[in-house]
């Protein structure tokens, strides 16, 4: 690892300069408040832009897998303005409030889902020195924050007072809570390999090689388990039983309209990005460049590529894999989904974690 290039691309000197400048013209408390406000705006803008990009990408990938064109009318041949047109439409649609619903919980549910998504999104390590929320137990914090979303889904299903929504919510709750076990165990496996729960620490521990290569076949198996569990956590096919259109209309958010529905829609796609981003952090080195032992010239060239380019490139690669899974496999039944988790994935993930502990203790990892 060429530390000089990584330090050159680090954003820490820039952020420290901003803080010193603001503290020079105002009290430190006000400076911290303004910095937090600016970061919040940046997070929300990045959240919205990535949602538009992911929706367009999903439509094009889906069209390719189904041997059709995809969006191609609004915005020219590529249909680039189709998603912005849909965003404008959903922003102008009326929010319908149900007369026989639990009004407080009905209004609260979409905000809980979007809150969990935004907090988890803020923990992603975009670049060296660009970790917005970074702490010693960062990966544990991400798991805890992302778990808030299932509360919003359950509240949405129950408070809407509809048989379609309650069935969708129960399915989603059972599936998410189940798959959180295997997902959490695979995350813990990578924490054992990295030796830290800090998100930035996990990335920096892969300076000598990405975890997916350091842990032999175990990390590859853990990576596959993580992808399957992450798909289920994000309520995406073939695990989209909570929104099975042929059975439940739209599942737990059937009775939502306007921007309330838009919150659920945004959270689904950004949860896809968060799942891929955490996979990139744990298995693919985060913003760390690709290095090949013995190829110093190649490694030097890789060091010139900024960390954010590496992070986004790896993340969108994982997103493509998740979309490939969605548009390849048919939807599973609820009993098949739970059988897959409790009989296969969770026992396998426990075996992988135990084997990783043994390899770590005896120094068998790279």
pLDDT tens for residues 106-161?
Answer: 888 899 999 999 999 988 998 887 788 888 888 999 989 988 888 888 888 888 88
Q: How far apart are CA 226 and CA 296, in angstroms?
A: 32
Query: pLDDT at position 273, please?
Result: 94
More confident residue, 242 or 347: 347
- pLDDT tens sequence across 229-257: 998 888 887 888 777 666 677 778 788 88
Model confidence at 305, pLDDT cuts 50, 70, 90, reads: confident
Query: pLDDT at position 6, please?
Result: 52
Model confidence at 11, pLDDT cuts 50, 70, 90, reads: confident
Query: pLDDT at position 300, please?
Result: 82
More confident residue, 182 or 297: 182
Query: pLDDT at position 348, please?
Result: 95
Task: Say how many C-beta atoms besides its own lie within 10 A of residue 363's C-beta.
Answer: 7
Model confidence at 363, pLDDT cuts 50, 70, 90, reads: confident
Residue 8 has pLDDT above 70, yes or no: no
Query: pLDDT at position 7, please?
Result: 55
Residue 4 has pLDDT above 70, yes or no: no
Query: pLDDT at position 320, please?
Result: 94
Instruction: Name the CA radius of gyration of the chain, rounded.
Output: 22
Q: 3-state class of 120 per DSSP?
A: helix
Average pLDDT over residues 327-355: 90
- pLDDT tens sequence across 87-106: 888 888 888 877 787 888 88
Model confidence at 54, pLDDT cuts 50, 70, 90, reads: very high
Report DSSP letters for 189-239, one per residue.
HHHHHHT---HHHHHHTTTTS-HHHHTHHHHHHHHHHHHHHHHHHTT-TTS
Q: 3-state class of 362 per DSSP?
A: coil
Question: Strand pairing partners for 131?
Answer: 125
More confident residue, 335 or 248: 335
């Amino acid at each position: 690892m060429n530390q000089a290039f990584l330090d050159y691309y680090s954003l820490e000197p820039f952020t420290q300069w901003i803080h010193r400048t603001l503290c020079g013209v105002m009290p430190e408390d006000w400076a911290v408040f303004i910095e937090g406000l600016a970061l919040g705006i940046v997070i929300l803008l990045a959240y919205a832009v990535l949602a538009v990009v992911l929706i367009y990408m999903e439509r094009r990938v889906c069209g390719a897998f189904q041997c059709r064109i995809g969006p191609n009318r609004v915005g020219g041949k590529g249909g680039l303005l189709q998603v912005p047109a849909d965003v404008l439409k959903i922003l102008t649609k009326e929010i319908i409030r149900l007369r026989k619903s639990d009004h407080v919980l009905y209004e609260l549910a979409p905000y809980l889902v979007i809150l969990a998504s935004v907090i988890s999104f803020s923990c992603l390590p975009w670049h060296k020195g660009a970790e917005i929320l970074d702490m010693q137990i960062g990966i544990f914090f991400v798991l805890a924050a992302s778990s808030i979303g299932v509360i919003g889904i359950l509240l949405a299903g129950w408070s809407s007072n509809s048989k379609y929504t309650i069935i969708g919510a129960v399915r989603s709750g059972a599936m998410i809570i189940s798959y959180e076990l295997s997902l959490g165990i695979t995350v813990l496996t990578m924490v054992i390999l990295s030796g830290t729960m800090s998100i930035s620490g996990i990335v920096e521990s892969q300076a000598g090689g990405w975890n997916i290569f350091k842990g032999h076949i175990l990390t590859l198996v853990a990576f596959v388990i993580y992808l399957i569990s992450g798909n289920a956590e994000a309520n995406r096919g073939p695990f989209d039983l909570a929104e099975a259109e042929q059975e439940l209309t739209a599942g737990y958010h059937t009775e939502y309209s306007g921007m309330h529905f838009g919150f659920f829609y945004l959270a689904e796609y950004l949860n896809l990005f968060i799942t891929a981003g955490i996979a990139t952090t744990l298995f693919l080195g985060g913003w760390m460049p690709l290095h090949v032992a013995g190829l110093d010239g190649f490694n030097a060239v890789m060091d010139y590529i900024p960390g954010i380019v590496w992070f986004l490139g790896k993340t969108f690669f994982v997103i493509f894999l998740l979309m490939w899974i969605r548009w390849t496999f048919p939807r599973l039944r609820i009993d098949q989904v739970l059988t897959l988790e409790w009989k296969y994935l969770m026992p396998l993930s426990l075996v992988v974690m135990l084997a990783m502990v043994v390899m770590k203790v005896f120094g068998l990892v790279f």
